[in-house]
Amino acid sequence: MLVSLSIRDVVLIDRLELVFEAGLCVLTGETGAGKSILLDALGLALGNRADAGLIRPGAPQASVTAVFEVEPSHPASAILTDWDLDPGEGQIVLRRTLGADGRNRAYVNDQAVSAGLLRRLGDCLVEIQGQFEQRGLLDVTTHRELLDAYGRTSALAERVGEAWSAWQARAKEHLTAQEELARARQEETYLRNTVGELEDLAPRPGEEQVLRDQREMLMNAERLIEAVTAAAEHLIGGDSAGGGAESALAASRRVLERVAAKAGGRLEPALDALDRALVEAAEAESQILSLSADLELDSTRQEEIEARYFALKELARKHDTDVDGLARVCHDLSARLAAIDGGGTHLAGLERAAREARADYLKQATSLGQSRREAAKKLDAAVAKELPPLKLERARFHTSIEAGDEADWGPTGMDRIAFEIATNPGTPPGPMNKIASGGELARFLLALKVVLSAIAPGRALVFDEVDSGIGGATAHAVGERLARLTRDRQVLVVTHSPQVGARGAYHLRVHKEAKDNRMTTRVTPLDLEQRREEIARMLSGSHITEEALAAARRLIEADAR
């Protein structure tokens, strides 16, 4: 609900503080008093286009602040949360400043925001219906959502959105697989040759290090053989008179063993150590002889080892990896080949999944379209009942639902939806803002809003020019419907009709007064007596008669009942 509006230096307004209440607020005043200025100022706070012409002459800037009270569940609160803005404590404050240099700034709860975000919040908080206001019901992009809400088809529409997303995902997977398969087939020869080369060489994990060690050993084979031979001679003994280390150890053991019994066990540790040394010496002898044999054997394979080592290194450079990474490269390329070989089957599966998802979307969207058409008939009939009392008995309201081409399908379904009207019998219906005159349009919007009153109850509703060109019973019907709308929301109406003015829960009179040799717009809240005088003025003109006062009193009392 709009609770207050603060205006500074907007056209004829120098400083104005307005407080609003729940129910129907009527704003009256003579033509030119500044009622439209109030709506322009409110529109500025709601994110409308900023026009430097709104700044009061001589003022450096204009500013407007609108304060709203909202429930935590209000859509505007969700927008604030999405944008990491302070939601406040049940209040949302929209503020807009407009400088004489054309610069304008927007604020929400004293935090700077874009004009686009301010407009988005404004659309959630206030709906303005007027001859020149292209938002609200005149915005054709809202008609589908309104019809879904009226026909209670929102849940089905949500399922259509899910089916659309699933279809698009499957279609994208199919298209991507097609493109990948086409690219793979273009390089199939290269892949087969490369995989064949890798499989022929068959690199093994860790092989590079093994080959490097073998290569380094073979490059020093001559020195190694000399050293191993010398070590064997020292260990085993050759032609030297003293024999080898193993002979010396055995001889030492034999000497000690002869006298061990006489040593009282003191020589047992030494004998054990000699036994271990003999075992280790025998192991060392075996290792040396084995290495010697390997060196003799590997020396004949040096050329083969060199060739494989450099072949692996060259292939690794070719694929921008190391030798250990060649196995992964072979696996990946083989997988691409397998995809080519089995690509037809895989592609057919994806195509089938996309086709099934499309069929599911068509089923859901068709069902939604049927539900929408049924809801449209009910909506058209409900609006038609509201038109005769509003002096629109010859007019017709029509909800247009046209099936779009596949290129027009989307997450909201396959239908193009628009509210249309025809003001004369026999003429085809067309867009509301192009067919009806200003007064007719306002009454059409009122009728439609009454029927859709349960939708978006959190938004305040502003009507301008709703009583243009009418009076008597028609004006009474307008007032009655405006009052009916206040069951679900706050309503503000700018009116010249006494029948509408009498319906107000509270009444603001807009007037001009001279100040410092210039005219300024003022707004005065009216008490009961002042309301009677204002309604009487609207009935009889500037000269208020007793008859007009009596008639005003009867209007107010009748509407109060």
Give, as one character, the DSSP assignment of residue 203.
-
Phi and psi for 241 in degrees, rounded to 5? -70, -30
Q: What b-and-e string marks burial along 258-270, b requiring 16 or more CB atoms within 10 Å of the CB?
A: eebeeeeeebeee
Residue that has been written with the tokens 């029509």 in this structure? 398
Query: What would the two tokens of residue 224 be?
Result: 């190694």
For the ranges 122-131, 216-225, 287-296, 514-523, the maximum mean pLDDT occurs at 514-523
DSSP 294-352: HHHHHTTTHHHHHHHHHHHHHHHHHTTS-GGGHHHHHHHHHHHHHHHHTHHHHHHHHHH
Position 561 confidence tier, pLDDT thresholds 50, 70, 90? low
Radius of gyration of the chain (CA): 47
Q: Can you tell me the mean pLDDT for 450-459? A: 80
Instruction: Confirm if 60 and 125 have CB atoms less than 8 A apart.
Output: no
Dist CA 529 CA 552 (whole Å): 10
- Long-range CB pairs of 350-355 (<8 Å, 24+ gap) are 350/170, 350/173, 350/174, 350/177, 351/174, 353/170, 353/173, 353/174, 354/167, 354/170, 354/171, 354/173, 354/174
At residue 119, the pLDDT reads 92
Residue range 159-187: average pLDDT?
Answer: 90
Higher pLDDT, 191 or 379: 379
Per-domain residue ranges of the chain: 2-130+387-525, 186-341
Pairwise pLDDT comparison (314 vs 303), residue with the higher score: 314
| Residue 545 reports pLDDT greater than 90 | no
Task: Tell me the C-alpha distance between 274 and 271, whole Å.
Answer: 5
479-520 confidence digits (pLDDT tens): 888 888 888 889 999 988 898 888 889 999 999 888 777 888
Buried b (16+ CB within 10 A) or exposed e, 130-160: bbebebbbbebebbbebbbbbbebeebbeeb
Structure tokens at 432: 């509301």
Which residues contact residue 560 at a Cβ distance below 8 angstroms, ignoring those fewer than 6 apart? none
Quickly tell me which residue has 């006062």 as its tokens: 549
Q: Using the Cα atoms of residue 311, residue 313, residue 316 and residue 317 in order, give the sign of their dihedral.
A: negative
How confident is the model at residue 323, as a pLDDT? 85
Dihedral pair phi/psi, residue 20, rounded to 5°: -115, 155
Of the pLDDT bands very low, low, confident and very high (cuts 50, 70, 90), residue 295 is low
| Alpha helical stretches, state H, 66-151 | 75-82, 115-125, 143-150
d(CA 323, CA 47): 64
Q: How confident is the model at residue 132 (pLDDT cuts 50, 70, 90)?
A: very low
Binned at pLDDT 50, 70 and 90, residue 224 comes out as: low
**Strands 13-19, 506-515: pairing kind:** unpaired
CB burial of 491-523 (b: ≥16 within 10 Å; e: otherwise) equals: bbbbbbbbbbbbbbebbbbbbeeeeeeeebbbb
Q: Is 465 helix (H, G, I), strand (E, B) or coil?
A: coil
Residue 107 gets which letter from DSSP?
E
In this predicted structure, the answer to whether residue 377 has a pLDDT above a threshold of 60 is yes
Residues 2-130+387-525, CATH architecture: 3-Layer(aba) Sandwich (3.40)
Query: Distance from first CA to last CA of the chain, Å, rounded?
Result: 25
Quick one: average pLDDT of 182-190? 79
Confidence band, pLDDT 50/70/90 cuts, at residue 532:
very high
Do the beta carbons of residue 453 and residue 484 sit within 8 Å? Answer: yes
Please report which residue ranges of 52-201 form alpha helices under DSSP H. 75-82, 115-125, 143-150, 154-186, 188-201
What is the Cα–Cα distance from 129 to 138, expressed in whole angstroms? 8
pTM for the structure as a whole: 0.66
Residue 220, class by beta-carbon neighbours within 10 Å (0-12 exposed, 13-18 middle, 19+ buried)?
exposed
- pLDDT confidence of residue 34: 84
Question: 10 Å Cβ neighbour count for 415?
Answer: 21
Q: Could you give the strand order of the β-sheet that contains 430-431, starting from the edge strand earlier in sequence?
A: 396-403, 415-422, 430-431
- Grade residue 274 by pLDDT with cuts at 50, 70 and 90: confident
More confident residue, 21 or 241: 21
Reported as a pLDDT band with limits 50, 70 and 90, residue 313 is confident
- How does residue 343 score in pLDDT terms, banded at 50, 70 and 90? low
Assess whether pLDDT exceeds 70 at residue 370.
yes
Average pLDDT, the chain: 84
Higher pLDDT, 263 or 365: 365
Confidence (pLDDT) at 164: 96
CA angle centred on 68, ends 62 and 74, rounded to 5° = 135
Q: Taking residues 86-108, what's their average pLDDT?
A: 88
Query: Which two structure tokens, joined as six digits, stand for 212?
Result: 């490097």
CA distance 300 to 319: 31
